[in-house]
Amino acid sequence: RKEVEQDPGPFNVPEGATVAFNCTYSNSASQSFFWYRQDCRKEPKLLMSVYSSGNEDGRFTAQLNRASQYISLLIRDSKLSDSATYLCVVSAREGSGTYKYIFGTGTRLKVLA
């Protein structure tokens, strides 16, 4: 089983729709969680961190479910400009005291006019 798993998609949704992605992780000791956005032929960039209590940034809401070991990203009122690949990132502390970051392979979103 991969340490971080995402549905590769693509998710094709009409403009204005609400879409949600899940990301599951296998290491119960994982401590930090992030969502990154990657545009075509570009490097990934941080979209938002995911906090235990859940957090919102405009049309984007991130949730963490530690019991089931998954994080989610909800996008409301989808825009054409939201079309991108969304990467889930999880970090866990290793025995050496450092944090290891594991990236999911990404979920592709296409918002259609």
Residue 65 pairs with which residues in a beta bridge? 70
Q: Which of 63, 106, 109, 111 binds another protein (CB under 8 A)?
A: 106
Is residue 97 near another protein by the rule CB under 8 A? Answer: yes
Structure tokens at 45: 């960039």
Is residue 113 near another protein by the rule CB under 8 A? Answer: no
Q: Cβ 104 to another protein, closest distance in Å?
A: 7
Q: Which of 6, 61, 78, 83 binds another protein (CB under 8 A)?
A: 6
Q: Are 71 and 62 in contact (CB under 8 A)?
A: yes
Q: Give the whole-angstrom CA distance, residue 26 versus residue 35.
A: 17
User: Coil, strand, or helix at residue 38?
Assistant: strand
Q: Are 85 and 107 in contact (CB under 8 A)?
A: yes
Tell me phi and psi for residue 43, to 5 degrees. Answer: -80, 155
* Segment interacting with another protein (CB under 8 A) among 15-23, 52-60, 76-84, 85-93: 85-93
Q: Cβ 16 to another protein, closest distance in Å?
A: 25
- Interface residue list for another protein (CB under 8 A): 6, 8, 31-32, 34, 36, 41-46, 49, 85, 87, 89, 91, 93-94, 96-106, 108
